[in-house]
Structure 1
Amino acid sequence: MHATLPLLAATDFPALNRRRLTTLQVNLGYRCNQSCVHCHVNAGPNRKEMMDAENLALIPKVLTARGITTLDLTGGAPEMHEGFRDLVRQARALGVHVIDRCNLTILFEPGQDDLAEFLAASQVEVVASLPCYSAANVDKQRGNGVFEKSILALQKLNALGYGADGSDLQLSLVYNPQGPELPPPQKSLEAAYKRELLDHFGIVFNRLLTITNMPIQRFGSMLISKGQFNDYMRLLKHNYAAGNLEGVMCRELVSVDWQGYLYDCDFNQQLGLTLPGLGERPHLRALLDADLSGKPIRVADHCYGCTAGQGSSCGGALENARQVIAVQAVHA
């Protein structure tokens, strides 16, 4: 039983509007071979929710209709969906870049023996969870033995060319803090990860993405149970940085749940805060005709998690995003 979370929808967070939609982030279901403490979707081995064939078939049509350039597949463990590989093949045939948000240990699950080879052959970008380069910290957050399996999975991906200099196979690692604190600076932590993983395990990767823990679902319930929820919200609000507003992921991304309903981000999805402006409960099929450019974004108090400190998104800290936007503005 999870503690009851406060309602976050009433907020003084600044109003936001969308730019052109470039990324479709699809949650294929909540089934996962792990149950991580920081998981904001409460995924686990006993979850049954999985996207059906009808909604799955809509995804390539929406990619084409909206000219979307990136398909971001998440879960749970998205690879556990029986339609995962066919969806990847269809998206790649359209020239769409595909991201697989992989927990690494899935590579050793029954029926997934050739998963790494499939991802490499399809040139799928792997964004892999590894909350620390220390075995004790990873196992504490994700379960006993997870670190060892994760290292073996990374070595397997490296052997296929992932993360190597000059390779088109992109491998990013994801860091989440262990508790109610902001991530450290992304660049310095990335340097430490690269040094430690190379020195001890011979592992290379392209980027480290630092992501702030959101005060919702499993992590939010943990904060409530420890009496830390209000302190964590104060931390996020106190470290609010207005400059991060330009780089938040919801500007150009739409999140799709396992039933095909639309949200501004994965966090709004878990809070049931649906995408505004397309009816009471907008569905994936609406994107076959609807252009979201200029539409409002539904904000709530948890949005302070994306704008605190160096900022946070599914692509890591927002400092680099702000630099890219500044360069684009100069050359516009």
Structure 2
Amino acid sequence: MHATLPLLAATDFPPIRRRRLDTLQVNLGYKCNQSCLHCHVAASPQRTEMMDAEHVALVLQVLQARGIATLDLTGGAPELNVHFRELVQGARALGVRVIDRCNLTILSEPGQHDLAAFLAAQGVEVTASLPCYSPANVDRQRGDGVFDRSIAGLCELNALGYGQGDGKLVLNLVYNPQGPSLPPPQAALEADYKRELLQHFGIRFDHLFALTNMPVQRFGSTLVSKGTFASYMALLRGAYQADNLDTVMCRSMVSVDWQGDLYDCDFNQMLGLHARLERVARPHLRDLLTHDPEGEDIRIADHCYGCTAGQGSSCGGALEAPVPQTVVIQFAGKGTR
């Protein structure tokens, strides 16, 4: 079990409100074919929570009723949900932009041999996890053999036309630090990734998103067990940038869990901090058919400093111009690399 995380005390994080809803981020389940050290969902092959057909149909209903532009599918490995392809096809038929947060190794799992071709045929935007271009670092963070399988997945996506810079089949990569440090400046790191992946593997992609590790679930528990939770929170607080408040993802996105409950972001989802809707005690997906979340207060806690630290962090990467210095805190007796 995970260590208790001291995140729910009163916070001095600035209050923020919602703007117009343009993105529905749907967690299709916590089951995954990997168990990554940085995973804030604590996903694994042993998890059984999965969104059912009724809620998948409700997602499509809400997308149409609210005129939502983007459906962002996550997990776990969202592709392991048996209704994944049905949802993708339904959303694309409505003209909705669909993002698949793919771990790349799912493309070589049994029964998924045609997944990459399906994503390409549907024009799905792929945002893929690759925490480093070094095999040793990736395997250390995500498991033995993950790097080679990830490279194979990227090659397959490239062969289908992904990541060619023409805007047709978009392929983005995601970087997470190896330990309790802020990510380095996104633009410079993207240049490094593009150079190394092209030179060594012939791989092309569109953008790199540098994300801050959030002190929740598996990563937060590791911080607690190593005695570095407080120092990591101090790092996030100390790197707070007020300008990032304007573009944090929770202003225009709602996170939906596998049961249809609503949250301001998937980090709040993991902490059980439900979103606020007028006169609704525990908002559900169906409530979006009758309630507009615009103008509602966003639930905040100390972990929100993770999205506003330094260059900022969101599901779309950095929020502003990168900071010049990356501060690193070491686990006791062990570096972060």
Partner of 2:71: 71
In structure 1, what is the Cα distance between the partners aligned to 2:126 and 2:85?
Answer: 14
The match for 2:332 is none
CA shift for structure 1 position 165? 3.1
Residues 144-155 of structure 1: matches in 2 within 5 Å?
144-155=144-155
| Counterpart for residue 308 of structure 2 | 307
CA contact (8 A) 1:65 1:289 kept: no
Aligned pairs for 1:84-95 within 5 A: 84-95=84-95
Structure 1 consecutive aligned stretches of length 4 or more whose deviation exceeds 3 Å: none
Alpha-carbon distance in 1 for matches of 2:81, 2:73:
11
The residue type equivalent to 1:256 in the other structure is V
Distance in 2 (alpha carbons) for counterparts of 1:79 and 1:283: 23
Identity level (%): 71
| Aligned residue identity for 1:140 | R
Q: What SS does the aligned partner of 1:297 have?
A: coil
> Residue 285 of structure 1 corresponds to which residue in structure 2?
286
Secondary structure of the 1:233 match is helix
Q: Give the equivalent residue in structure 1 for 2:326.
A: none
Q: Output one character per residue of 1:211-230: Cα deviation in whole Å (capped at 9) or x when no partner.
A: 00000100000000000000
Range 112-121 or range 50-59, more displaced? 50-59
Q: Is this contact kept in 1: 2:16–2:298, CA < 8 A? A: yes
Q: For 2:63 and 2:7, locate their aligned partners in 1 and report how far apart those are by CA, in whole Å.
A: 33
Query: What is the CA–CA distance in structure 1 between the aligned matches of 2:246 and 2:124, rounded to whole Å?
Result: 27
> Helix, strand or coil: the match of 2:235?
helix
Q: Deviations over 1:243-295 (max 9, x none)?
A: 00001000000000000000000000000000013422110000011111111
In 1: Cα distance, 2:233 partner to 2:8 partner: 10
1:8: how far off?
3.0
Q: Which amino acid aligns with 1:2?
A: H
DSSP 3-state at the match of 2:73: strand
Letter of the aligned partner of 1:306 in structure 2?
C
**Partner-residue secondary structure (3-state), 2:172:** strand
- Contact 2:165/2:205 (8 A) holds in 1: no
What SS does the corresponding residue of 1:209 show, helix, strand or coil?
A: strand
Instruction: Please name the residue that 1:138 is paired with.
Output: 138
Question: Bigger CA drift: 204-213 or 285-294?
Answer: 285-294
Farther-moved stretch of structure 1 (53-62 vs 134-143):
53-62
Q: Deviations over 1:180-202 (max 9, x none)?
A: 00000000000000000000000
TM value normalised by structure 1: 0.95
Superposition TM-score, scaled by structure 2 size: 0.94
Counterpart-to-counterpart distance in 1, 2:262 and 2:43:
19
| Contact 1:9 1:299 (C-alpha < 8 Å) held by counterparts | no
Looking at structure 2, the residues matched to 8 and 191 of structure 1 have their Cα atoms a distance apart, in angstroms, of: 38
| Partner residue, 1:297 | 298
1:28 matched to 2:28? yes
SS at match of 1:21: coil
Q: How many residues align?
A: 321
SS of residue matched to 2:209: strand
Q: Distance in 1 between matches of 2:52 and 2:321?
A: 37
Q: What is the rounded CA distance, in whole Å, between the counterparts of 2:4 and 2:11 in structure 1?
A: 18
